[in-house]
Structure 1
Amino acid sequence: MAKEKIILLLTPAFPAHEQDWNWLPVLQRLTLSMQAIDADLPVKLISFSYPYQNKTYFWNGMEVFSMNLMHLNKVQRLLAWCKIWKQMRALNQQYQIQSMVSFWIAETSLLGSWFAWWHRIPFYAWICGQDAKPGNRFARLSKLKPANCIAISDFISDGFEQHYGIRPMQTIPFGVSPTPTNTHFNNRPIDIIGVGSLKPLKQFHLFIEVVALIQQQHPHLKVLICGSGELHDALLEMILEKGLEHNVQLLGEVMHHETIQLLSQSKIILHSSNYEGMSAACLEGLEAGCQLISFVKSMHTEIDHWQIASSVEDMAQKAMTILDHPPAATKRVMPYSIYQTATKVLEFSNR
């Protein structure tokens, strides 16, 4: 009797339950879209670090094996790797694994690539961001080649080739889902929004510098920052020092669906990060009708309503131009849909 075919996804984290929407919403949308497109090819997941418990559970009908590696020491981690290998072997014995896909070049790609090679299973590693930076030992230890590497953006593909000599054969950004949004640009009460973790990589101190320049010309500027992190107190102090306490509000961590609502009420999304694969917040902002300004150009091609700034002053000037000469109506831009992403995953999984 023929075994049932499955796709096996390996991820550092996955939501613990169906209401846990702040854990990797892009991966949630991808798996749900894959399931909707081809219900006859079940998706199963091994989540390495989160949830923080060893358990097997179902999320929207998909079986998830949680391994809880987050807080393990080196010896415990090696033992956990053996347990993950046994879990993959058990799945391979029970099912015909059509393909394996790991997210990030990390433990997921290390174990996944070698298991797939040993059992002659098609394997793909999705390079999603900082894993393309130099010094990632898993890039050397994983069994990677151009044909089994997928980059989330051209920026990441260029970086991975530069640092590891491997040019991913495919570039597939995580797309977004269409959402109802405000179509009148001037009816958006939030002038500028920022979305992301408050950590050094995101450079929110430069975001505040940009806002300070704009506020000189727009004293009633309304700015929101959605995100939590280690730099919260430092950013709050900076806001007070620059006299922006009536302009800038730090909202802390915001539920994903609430972030989408805020984006639909915002004119401009500023993305001050100095390194970015393909920010989901940026794509969601474009889809919600925001104008986007960032320092990093993720794709070689031009994307409507996405401007690239060369400096703090340039970013401020671009934002002021939009505020001073607003478009008559909102244009929703969706260069990459999650449906297209899921379709491509299923296409190479069915080869």
Structure 2
Amino acid sequence: MSKRLLFITPIFPKKLEEDYVVPFLAQFTYVFAEQTDVVVDVISLAYPFEKIEYKLNNVTVYAIGSKFISPIKQFPFMLRAVYKGVRLHKKNKYDGVLCFWYREAALVGVLLNKLLGLKLRVWFLGQDVQKGNKYIPLLRISPKKLIMISKQQREIFYKNHNIFIDKIANVAFDRKKFPELNKDERPIDIIGVGNIGFIKNYALFLDIIIVLREFFPNLRAVICGADAGQKPLLDKKVQENQLEQNITFTGRISLTEVYDYMNKSRVFLHTSNAEGAGLVLQEALYLGCKVVSTIEVEESDEIKNHFFFSKDTDVLTNNIKEYLNNPFEPVRIERFKMEDTIQCIYESFFN
């Protein structure tokens, strides 16, 4: 009898072309099903927005279609997800349930665990470690069933909730998705990647560009990401400071296109206010960029010639200036391997 797991997530791509939708989660799911002896099914709660069943690569997805509505309004949809999970288990006999984010998906997983006795694991993936997450005191899931994506996230969670989580499965990427490393000319001086919302803090990104332009009048910067509420504010700042010739906003583009932009860039500037593990930092390093970030990565001393961290705007600006003033030689750096992440999750269920 084959091994089977049920993944529960709030969101999953509707088609392969939507590679910008939760890229790590999707890549992990596809590669996990491809490289292990486990059959994977997915219940997606909010997106796709309609109730449908479909197959992507070797994974079957059951979309509940709740959309991104308030938790109270989502409750009937969560019950539908539980019912779907019960019916699927009757047919498929799952060995366990993996929930992405300690929120609605975790609630569905807990109910399936209680009803069916399935082994449960919940994987924190970002802001769900924060104090305001009401699902943590509500569900009180045993720490042995919880998984973190980084040491930093574990420290934040312990500080906020006084609960220590032992297991870490680092975010990683599928190397097959990346282009060959560009060792030729890189016409983009500075790039930023991520939806244009409060968390990414692109106002600081523009502040740094404004200062750097005094030293590099022809500076070329690019921001890749869809508008998440802050774009009009950035447009105003661009106009007020005459940055139209220095900054390009691509809007929403595919992950493949993002990688192409990064592969043509010298410096990756990350001005985020918060980050669970910063997969995009790993992607930038793998594509040969020098990374300057307000978010730390684990054991950054090992890559100090390629990664720089600070919360001080002047220090960040001066470091970028130094990078741009010196010869640039791109080097691939891979912080965490997808194979190790897959092994960690696999052993959580089959050990």
TM, length-normalised to structure 2: 0.93
Indicate the residue corresponding to 2:210 in structure 1.
212
Is the CA contact (8 Å cut-off) linking 2:158 and 2:164 kept in structure 1? yes
Q: Which residue of 2 aligns with 1:126?
A: 123
Distance in 1, Cα, partners of 2:112 & 2:241: 54
Output the CA distance in 1 between the equivalents of 2:85 and 2:126: 26
Moved more, 232-241 or 111-120: 111-120
Partner of 2:347: 347
Unmatched runs of 5 consecutive residues or more in structure 1: none
Partner residue, 1:238: 237
Residues 259, 71 of structure 1: alpha-carbon distance in 2 compared, 3 angstrom cutoff: closer
Match of 1:26 among 19, 24, 43: 24
How many Å separate the matches in 2 of 1:134 and 1:285? 30
Q: Deviations over 1:239-266 (max 9, x none)?
A: 1212221111111112110000111110
- Cα deviation for residue 227 of structure 1 reads 1.0
C-alpha separation between the residues in 2 aligned to 1:123 and 1:302?
A: 36
Q: How far has the Cα of 1:118 moved from its partner?
A: 4.2
* Alignment map for 1:31-50 (pairs within 5 Å): 31-38=29-36, 40-50=37-47
Change (3 A) 1:71 1:281: closer
| Higher deviation after alignment, 317-326 or 74-83 | 74-83
Task: Structure 2 unaligned segments of length 5 or more: list them.
Answer: none
| Identical counterparts, % of pairs | 23
For 2:302 and 2:24, the matched residues in 1 are separated by 20
- Taking only aligned residues, the RMSD between alpha carbons, in angstroms, comes to 1.8
CA displacement, residues 190-246 of structure 1 (integer Å, 9 cap, x when unaligned): 100000111111110000011111111111111000112211121011112122211
8 Å CA contact retained: 2:169, 2:345: no
CA contact (8 A) 1:181 1:289 kept: no
Secondary structure of the residue that 2:180 maps to in structure 1? coil
Distance in 1 of aligned mates of 2:140 and 2:112: 10
**Counterpart residue number, 1:65:** 62
2:243 and 2:124 mapped to 1: Cα distance?
38
Which letter does structure 1 place at the counterpart of 2:327? P
The answer to whether the 8 A contact 2:30-2:58 is kept is: no
Matched, 1:14 2:12: yes
Q: Does 1:103 align with 2:104?
A: no
1:301 CA drift (Å): 5.2
Q: Any conservation in 2 of the 1:5–1:95 contact (CA below 8 Å)?
A: no
Alignment partners' CA distance in 2, 1:323 and 1:251: 23
| 8 A contact 1:193–1:224 mirrored in 2 | yes
Higher relative contact order (CA 8 A, sep 6+): 1
Paired with 1:251 and 1:164, the residues of 2 have a C-alpha distance of: 39
TM-score between the two structures when normalised by the length of structure 1: 0.93
Report the CA distance between 1:287 and its aligned residue.
Answer: 0.6
> For 1:78, which of 75, 80, 87 is the aligned residue?
75
Deviations 1:14-41 (A, max 9, x none): 0112222221111121112112212x31
- Separation in 1, partners of 2:147, 2:327: 38
Contact 1:277-1:298 within 8 A present in 2 as well: no
